Chain A
Amino acid sequence: MSAPLLSLENLSISFPAEGGRVRVVEGVSLSIAPGETLAVVGESGCGKSITALAMTRLIPRPGRIEPGSRILFEGRDLLALPVTEMRAIRGARIGMIFQEPMTSLNPVTQVGAQVREAIQLHTRASTADARRRVVELFEMVGIPDPVRRIHAYPHQLSGGLKQRVMIAMAMAMKPRLLIADEPTTALDATIRAQILDLIRNLSESTGTAVLLITHDFGVVNEVADRVAVMYAGEIVEEGTREEILANPQHPYAQGLLKSIPRADARGRRLEEIKGSVPRPGQWPTGCRFNTRCPHVFDRCRIEVPARTVVSPTQAARCHLVEQRSRA
């Protein structure tokens, strides 16, 4: 693999709780190659959104990235950068889009002006130049009638159009990495497909890498090159899209895939993973999935499973996988 665009090394994030700090994300290592789309999949509360925020150092107080973590972006350690340089990277080199297009735009400012702000923040473009660029961007993200729409206020646009504005804003500076935190969760199904198409096309035409956070394997199937599955603050499995979708190794990944409704399984009862993600600080010893795993055995409750490489691109943290690969 070529030099990664972004790599997380041993990333841990903690929040204060009764009796000390609790790590909500622990020892996450990930990397994204230039132009690649990586999907991070997991249930609510598994730490995927906070991992994404950590990449631009935007974890809300009193959260903290633990010492020993490293975030390398284009060869620089983001955690060691001064605040002003970090700000220059946000928006310009790393763009972000959020889950809620309804509330992610300032309600009292025209949308064109908000996108223009994103441009003028990082360049010395004149207002007229920046305005022309906004119209281009609106055309690029498929907003009809862009010349008129730049004067619209957010409440005058539909959810899909607002998410397109958000994408235009995030892509305004042609960032090398786009972080999309559940970009389609708040949209209905037809709009969802359009927005995913747009993200994929933009990524292909500009060479921007995408880190997509989702809980939806449908989204994974449509856009991801590689997939990382997160559970209880850890990456439990990673691999290419084909590997994860066709041959998941970790019982959690298998469970997630089985719980998707499918056309060929009509009439049968949908399988589910029993229980829910344990809260941070209440994670079991040994494998963190041992309270819900259908294949749990004694070793799982005692020993933390190591990362087992299954193929050059696939790896999982599970004792079963380790035993199988040894056999």
Chain B
Amino acid sequence: MAWISNITVILLVAGAVWLARVASRSRYWRESARELWRRRRVALVVIGVFVFVALLDSISWVGGARDGDNMTAFQARSIIDRIFQPETFKEASYSAPLAGVAFYGGKELKYPGAHLLGTDILGRDVVYRALKGVRVALLIGAFTSLLVIPIALLFGVSAGYFGRRIDDGVFFLMTVLASVPSLLLLIALIMALGKGTLQICIALGVTGWVHFCRIARGETLKLREADFVDAARALGVSDTRIIFRHILPNIAHLIIITFALTFTALVLSETILSYLGIGVDGSWGQMIDQARNELSRAPIVWWNLAGASILLFTLVLAVNAVADAMRDIADPRTRREGQ
């Protein structure tokens, strides 16, 4: 399994570099990127750090476990694992952030003052666990968005543009999906598909496209009647070309906003699924779920919740901030003159 994620990382990085090189050839994209950097430097850096952590957590290989335990010796361990060495870098049970002694009993810790956010009930370092959650969150958010947006665009734009039978069909599908409580459908799908990151992404994707599809359909309906679409038709432009050259660019800003909003909504809905016990292992949702009971202890154990929540909050905020700026930049009507 390890090699799949390694290859994916290489492909992703190569794809991103290629995309950046292609985009940098066009003045429009170069200027947009520069403008985005000018407006949202901090948020971009934050997202960059998250992506970097997720990539570090995705590259893994077997061997090098220090404790020589048979269980871990043959498991592939990622770079994050190798930095933190969780097999040895742990305590017996809870310890407070940067504490020198255990939370219960006051025994001297193995690594006093080294756990920035303390340790959980099994003595695992909270910073390490929270960082492991980054990859899960990005994976769920990005993969499901990439699943949702093409489906919603395909259905929404073709329903809006061609109308009649296609519209009827898509609308029927949307109504059926919207009539079932989405959480119920989600749970049923996960039960049918089985637990796992990919399965949850698919389940979230199947239930999540309706909203954006409706927006895309409405916007296409409006654009179909636009004078410039008539003008394009009078020039002899084919329907497919009209969709790609005239409709899609005019809803590009919607795609970007929706990508960001779905992305963050998906990361958050995974938390809810974890709360119901059908989430992804190692996610922030699971950490928050476990922290539920800890909050009722006296003295309170708050660092588990804090670790997951801070990262969740930071990621969602950064993505939303960037999406907001992207929308302004992508829409030439709100773009500043004379650049």
**A residues within 8 Å of B by Cβ?**
56, 58, 87-92, 95-96, 98, 100, 103-109, 117-118, 121-122, 151, 153, 155-156, 166, 169-170
Q: How far is the CA of A253 from the CA of B230 in the complex (A)?
A: 31
B236 touches A98 (CB 8 A): no
CB nearest to B333 among chain A residues: A155
Asked if B22 lies at the interface with its beta carbon under 8 angstroms from chain A, I say: no
Q: How far is the CA of A96 from the CA of B235 in the complex (A)?
A: 7
B234 touches A96 (CB 8 A): yes
A109 touches B245 (CB 8 A): yes
Asked if B238 lies at the interface with its beta carbon under 8 angstroms from chain A, I say: yes
Asked if B194 lies at the interface with its beta carbon under 8 angstroms from chain A, I say: no
Contact of A96 among B231, B331, B332, B337 (CB under 8 A): B231
Q: How far is the CA of A311 from the CA of B337 in the complex (A)?
A: 59
Asked if B69 lies at the interface with its beta carbon under 8 angstroms from chain A, I say: no
A117 touches B332 (CB 8 A): no
Give a binary string over B228-241; 1 marks a CB under 8 Å from any A CB, 0 the rest: 10111111111001
A106 touches B235 (CB 8 A): no
CB nearest to A179 among chain B residues: B234
A90 touches B234 (CB 8 A): yes
Q: How far is the CA of A245 from the CA of B226 in the complex (A)?
A: 36
A155 touches B332 (CB 8 A): yes
Determine which residue in B226, B233, B234 has the highest number of CB atoms from chain A within 10 A of its CB, and name it: B234
A108 touches B231 (CB 8 A): no
Q: Which of B242-263 contact A (CB under 8 A)?
A: 245-246, 249-250, 252
A98-B230, A100-B227 known; A121 vs B237 contact (CB < 8 Å): yes
A92 touches B236 (CB 8 A): yes
A90-B235, A91-B236 known; A108 vs B230 contact (CB < 8 Å): no
4 shortest A-B CB distances, which residue pairs? A90-B236, A91-B235, A91-B236, A96-B234
- Interface residues on chain B, size class: 20 to 34
Q: Using Cβ atoms and an 8 Å threshold, which residues of chain B touch A100?
A: 227
CB nearest to B238 among chain A residues: A87
Q: Using Cβ atoms and an 8 Å threshold, which residues of chain B touch A118?
A: 235
A166 touches B231 (CB 8 A): yes
B234 touches A108 (CB 8 A): no
CB nearest to A151 among chain B residues: B27
Q: How far is the CA of A170 from the CA of B234 in the complex (A)?
A: 9
A106 touches B234 (CB 8 A): no
CB nearest to A92 among chain B residues: B236
CB nearest to B224 among chain A residues: A60
Q: How far is the CA of A40 from the CA of B331 in the complex (A)?
A: 39
Contact of A88 among B226, B232, B236, B250 (CB under 8 A): B236
CB distance from B259 to the nearest CB of A (A): 17
B227 touches A58 (CB 8 A): no
Contact of B236 among A109, A122, A166 (CB under 8 A): A122
CB nearest to B233 among chain A residues: A58
A56 touches B234 (CB 8 A): yes
Q: How far is the CA of A42 from the CA of B227 in the complex (A)?
A: 22
Q: How far is the CA of A211 from the CA of B246 in the complex (A)?
A: 27
A153-B332, A155-B332, A155-B333 known; A105 vs B231 contact (CB < 8 Å): yes
* 26 A–B pairs (Cβ distance < 8 Å), ordered by A: A56-B234, A87-B236, A88-B236, A91-B234, A95-B235, A98-B230, A103-B226, A103-B228, A104-B228, A104-B230, A105-B231, A106-B232, A106-B245, A106-B246, A106-B250, A107-B228, A107-B333, A109-B246, A109-B249, A117-B245, A121-B237, A121-B241, A153-B332, A156-B337, A169-B235, A170-B235
A105 touches B234 (CB 8 A): no
B230 touches A90 (CB 8 A): no
Q: Using Cβ atoms and an 8 Å threshold, which residues of chain B touch A98?
A: 227, 230-231, 234
A108-B250, A109-B249 known; A103 vs B227 contact (CB < 8 Å): yes
Q: Using Cβ atoms and an 8 Å threshold, which residues of chain B touch A91?
A: 234-237
Q: Using Cβ atoms and an 8 Å threshold, which residues of chain B touch A104?
A: 227-228, 230-231
Give a binary string over B301-339; 1 marks a CB under 8 Å from any A CB, 0 the rest: 000000000000000000000000000000111000100
Q: How far is the CA of A118 from the CA of B228 in the complex (A)?
A: 13
Q: How far is the CA of A151 from the CA of B226 in the complex (A)?
A: 22
A121 touches B246 (CB 8 A): no
Q: A58-B233, A104-B228, A122-B236 are in contact. List 6 more A-B contacts (CB 8 A).
A: A87-B236, A92-B236, A96-B234, A98-B234, A103-B227, A109-B249
Q: Using Cβ atoms and an 8 Å threshold, which residues of chain A touch B333?
A: 107, 155
A108 touches B245 (CB 8 A): no
Q: How far is the CA of A53 from the CA of B291 in the complex (A)?
A: 67
Q: How far is the CA of A107 from the CA of B247 in the complex (A)?
A: 11
B237 touches A117 (CB 8 A): yes
Q: Using Cβ atoms and an 8 Å threshold, which residues of chain B touch A170?
A: 235
Q: Using Cβ atoms and an 8 Å threshold, which residues of chain B touch A92?
A: 236
Q: How far is the CA of A58 from the CA of B250 in the complex (A)?
A: 22
CB distance from B209 to the nearest CB of A (A): 24
Q: How far is the CA of A108 from the CA of B228 in the complex (A)?
A: 11
Q: Using Cβ atoms and an 8 Å threshold, which residues of chain B touch A106?
A: 228, 232, 245-246, 249-250
Q: Using Cβ atoms and an 8 Å threshold, which residues of chain B touch A58?
A: 230, 233-234
A121 touches B249 (CB 8 A): no
Q: Using Cβ atoms and an 8 Å threshold, which residues of chain A touch B235?
A: 90-91, 95-96, 117-118, 121, 169-170
Q: How far is the CA of A294 from the CA of B236 in the complex (A)?
A: 45
Q: Using Cβ atoms and an 8 Å threshold, which residues of chain B touch A95?
A: 234-235
A107 touches B231 (CB 8 A): no
Q: How far is the CA of A105 from the CA of B228 in the complex (A)?
A: 5
